[in-house]
Chain A
Amino acid sequence: MSQIVGTQAPGEVPGRLRLDRITKVFGSLVANDQVSLDIDPGEIHCLLGENGAGKSTLMNQLYGLLQPDGGQIQIDGVPVRFDNPRQAIDAGIGMVHQHFMLVDVFTVAENIVLGREPGTAGVLNLRAARQRVRELSRRYRLEVDPDARVEDLPIGVQQRVEILKALSNDARYLVFDEPTAVLTPQETDELIEVMRALRDEGRAIVFITHKLREVRAIADRITVIRRGAVVGEAPPSATESELAEMMVGRAVSLTVAKQPPRPQGPRLQVEGLTVTSPDGVVVVDDVSLDVAGGEIVCVAGVQGNGQTELAEALLGTTASNRGRILLDGADITRRDPRGRLRSGLGFVPEDRKADGFVGSFTVAENLVLNHVESFSRRGVLQLGRIEENARRLTEEFDVRTQSTTTSVASLSGGNQQKVVLARELSRPLALLVASQPTRGVDVGAIEFLHQRIVAERDKGTAVLIVSTELDEVAALADRVAVMFRGRVVGVVDAGTSREVLGLMMAGVPHEEALAAASVTTAAEEEARLEAEVAEHVAELTGHEPQEEQHG
């Protein structure tokens, strides 16, 4: 793998961008440990790794946002050094950031020309800017309105702007950092088409992701990175479980063992719930939903379609305008969050760092954070009982921490989430609401968290999971409620195909989605067969690109 590549004569592949033994250290953490990577024109190179494996750190060095502590970057065999993004951009490197680097209140044109504004004597020429955007848009067939304000655009279009911004500097090496996290499956397909078209023009594409399915769909080459170091390359034909094993370092099961649900009567009843944002936009629109005890209902949808607000309205931190929430038949709509927690609501927030725990508090303190009154007598904390509780829970939930007095901020994402879940599940619950329960959590911990959630279901608790990851929905759900623009488009069975769910996530009602999906799947099947035949032919004639697996 990397070492072998390293011994080849430099510049063997014209236009090759090479990261050569890049090392980056933050304090005591080695974020990148001698990482080597070759990025070749005309190739889609997938960089696969878990959250926190060091992918983004590596790419930030390539883009000049960070400077490596060791190793070098070479283009065509010539060492280059990027002290700032401008130098990287001038060398032909472009980046489509995970969190879009767009100024919300600017127009599309202003965003695209920012940093290289057309004009004379410092006076901005907005007409030329618009013209530039139109030309780019036409050339790459990525349609955008140059005068639209970015904040008014849907996420998929914002990403298009981000791509055009990189292309406007004529990037030859394009890095896509987790680009599909915010897209529907259909938008993801479109993005994959765009990436292929750019590759076919001779550009080099680096695709950073932790989603195995996408890697297999698109990669010409896969490099797996774990704990800051390259683990090895994998052929695009590798199976998902092979890739997962390389990524995690041990065999992982990607499915949760789970009995069929035994739903009892409805425990959570939501009736006509409507929530508005502070400026009056309806974000949850007349949602009615039941969750029975002993079943898991997943709310699926693209980020920003009202799921967050729905979860917050269930907890009571966001006020609802209309509608009722019943828990075990009791109307809790007017209760405050504390009252709802006491009625048997367990809540795992979407952003655990901001809302899930107090980072500077210890593990033990965080584990009693929302029911501290039961661990105190006359207002004085009973430290012994808190400590005992912490010991029991850290063991039960396999929280990897040095001690119960370690601050939660210093734990890994997966262990932080275990602390949050342990706290919520340590009380008898009627309803568990969990938003993105495994976001930013390593694959090993995902397995564990999913098992605990299923176990809670089997105790008879009603479970509502909000997730934007279809893999998670498939793993957990007994029923799926799909949300689009604040409405529940439909509630469907767990077995519903990805295509249908994807269409529903774009607002297509269930029946129509079913009809449309059966057409696309037939067409896709045909395309897949064709590709397979081509692959066989290539194998026979020996024109396969080099893809021996090392390591």
Chain B
Amino acid sequence: MSTTIRPHAETPAGDQPVRLESREERTHRLSVGVLVLLVGVLLAVLTLSTSGTARFALSDVFDEVQLPTLSLPGLPVVVLCALLCLLAGAGFVVGRLSSRLRALAGTVAGVAFLLGFLTWAAAGRDLPFPVSNQLSGTLTLATPLVLGALCGVLCERAGVVNVSIEGQFLTAAFTSALVGSITGSIPLALLAAVAGGVAMAALLALFAIRYKVDQVVLGVVLNLLAVGLTGFVFDQLVQPAAGELNDAPLLTPVAVPGLSAIPLLGPVLFEQNALAYLAIASVLLVWFLVFRTSWGLRVRAVGEHPEAADTVGISVRGTRWSAVLVGGVFGGLGGAFFSLAATGSFTKEMTVGNGFIALAALIMGRWHPVWATVMALFFGFVTQMASQLQTLSTPVPSQFLLLLPYVATVVAVAGLIGRVRAPAADGVPYDKP
């Protein structure tokens, strides 16, 4: 009989539990390390085709303040970035980094990859890479993603999985284009977008909360419904009279007086359309609603532990309904972007998967309005970069360019974010005992 007995004399109640790296954590660390190493190797390969100087234009010709164009020596920068990536990757693989060092290594790897990649793409080209265009395009493209992610935050914090952000976008894009065309009024068109988003949200709430339908399947069905319904009405009613019914007023960029004159930041942040400003305000509003109001506390409670909410007299279904409907408002505004800010008209399936990207932003942003926004901006950045690089006529196929940024996304997400925890009751219908 060999029994190890260790004295365990003083054990104050609040002391920290012993920690060791679990198998899951080890796997995660190693896979991140290998991924970062691969990115480093990729950059190293790119050095072979890097030559000349990479130029970055910080302002474009229309800006009031002209900033100098930044010039970087191509080869050394790409080599340095490759080395940084390899170093960070090796750090992940070799040892256990503290959480702070891990975040640092992840950030360094992400920034190094972006900088290295951009430098390689811009090196030796005739035109400089337009940084200010890149950034203001990021914000524009991120606008619907931010609003969609906020919609998702509200639903899922309350415990209703929302896969139908795409359907809410599409419906709202349609209603706003139609009402905008008929009335010629942007406020009315926005109201119509909100109505469309809320209507789709109400369908989601009805079937998810009342009839307890599987929420992922339900979301897919609602997306198909939105495609079918808008397509049908568009073909039957709108298309024959496109001149009157599909000619909505376009949201144009509004410069904020004074602020838009700030070098670099001005054109990026303060020459946007109204929806972009609305999106920024919405982030703050949703954050406040979720974390600083009684309603928000209840929403989070029904999403985490509905029984607990029920036993203190909170209506679980009522609270979920309210959260989903309020979410629909933001989903609707996000949908308005496609018809009112991007084109001024409706075309079938014009939201092309943006709702799903918003969903991804929400999950990678850990169901937090601010982090979800950061992720949405990241996706906007990536999309904008791909189109910028195409205009630079880099030597690789454009499809490949569109692919690479997503590699960076995976690296950044895996390295920086790690394990995510959804609201405990997300997607679980509430049955009374």
Contact = CB atoms under 8 A, between A and B. Distances in A.
Is B truly associated with A? yes
A274 interface: yes
Nearest to A57: B433
A266 B2 CA distance: 10
Contact of B300 (A65, A106, A117, A481): A106
Interface stretch (B6-14, B164-172, B229-237): B6-14
A280 B293 CA distance: 34
A280 B20 contact: yes
Given A105-B304, A280-B22, A489 B5 contact: yes
Contacts of B20: 274, 276, 280, 282, 321
B329 to A, nearest CB: 17
Contacts of B25: 278-280
Interface in B1-32: 1-9, 11, 13, 17-25
Contacts of A124: 292-294, 296-297
Given A66-B433, A266-B1, A282-B19, A487 B311 contact: no
A486 B297 contact: no
B374 interface: no
A468 to B, nearest CB: 19
Interface in A84-109: 84-87, 89, 95, 97, 101-106
A290 interface: yes
Contact of A122 (B23, B295, B433): B295
Interface string A267-299: 001011010111111100111111010000000
B300 A103 contact: yes
A115 B295 contact: no
A341 interface: no
B312 A115 contact: yes
Contacts of B307: 101
A85 B306 CA distance: 13
Contact of B292 (A104, A123, A274, A486): A123
A339 interface: no
Nearest to A321: B20
Nearest to A263: B1
A102 to B, nearest CB: 6
A337 B296 CA distance: 45
Contact of A490 (B1, B5, B292, B313): B5
A114 B298 contact: yes
Interface string A474-490: 00000001001111111
B415 to A, nearest CB: 17
Nearest to A156: B13
B404 interface: no
A475 to B, nearest CB: 23
Interface in A390-425: none
Contact of A85 (B13, B18, B22, B310): B310
Given A84-B313, A117-B294, A282-B18, A289 B7 contact: no
Interface string A113-133: 011110100111000000000
B20 to A, nearest CB: 5
A510 B13 CA distance: 19
A115 B17 contact: no
Interface in A434-491: 481, 484-491
A154 interface: yes
A512 interface: yes
A276 B17 CA distance: 11
Nearest to A484: B8
B212 interface: no
B11 A485 contact: yes
B292 A290 contact: no
Interface string B20-55: 111111000000000000000000000000000000
B427 to A, nearest CB: 17
Contacts of B313: 84-87, 89, 115
B420 to A, nearest CB: 12
A279 B2 contact: no
A236 interface: no
B17 A89 contact: no
A132 to B, nearest CB: 14
A165 interface: yes
Nearest to A118: B294
A50 interface: no
A319 interface: yes
B18 A272 contact: no
B301 A491 contact: no
Contact of B4 (A104, A272, A486): A272
Contacts of B23: 276, 278, 319, 321
A280 B4 CA distance: 23
Contacts of B9: 508-509, 512
Interface string B295-324: 111101100110111111111000000000
B100 interface: no
Nearest to B294: A117
Nearest to A279: B22
Contacts of B17: 281-282, 485
B314 A114 contact: yes
Nearest to A274: B20
Nearest to A277: B22
Interface string A485-509: 1111111000000000000000111
A116 B312 CA distance: 8
Contact of A165 (B293, B296, B300, B312): B312
B19 A280 contact: yes
A43 interface: no
Nearest to B289: A122
A321 B308 CA distance: 36
Contact of B3 (A122, A274, A488, A508): A488
A452 to B, nearest CB: 26
A271 B311 CA distance: 46
Contact of B301 (A106, A489, A509): A106
Counting chain B CB atoms within 10 Å of each CB, which of A63, A509, A510 scores highest? A509
A157 B1 CA distance: 37
Given A124-B297, A279-B25, A286-B6, 5 more contacts: A85-B313, A103-B309, A110-B297, A288-B2, A509-B8
Interface of B: 1-9, 11, 13, 17-25, 292-298, 300-301, 304-305, 307-315, 419, 424, 432-433
Interface of A: 60, 63, 65-66, 84-87, 89, 95, 97, 101-106, 110-111, 114-117, 119, 122-124, 154, 157, 165, 266, 269, 271-272, 274, 276-282, 285-290, 292, 319, 321, 481, 484-491, 507-510, 512
13 contacts: A87-B313, A89-B313, A101-B305, A115-B313, A115-B314, A122-B293, A278-B419, A286-B6, A290-B1, A481-B3, A488-B4, A491-B5, A508-B9
In order of increasing CB-CB distance, the 7 nearest A-B pairs are A86-B313, A115-B312, A101-B308, A117-B294, A276-B22, A288-B4, A282-B18
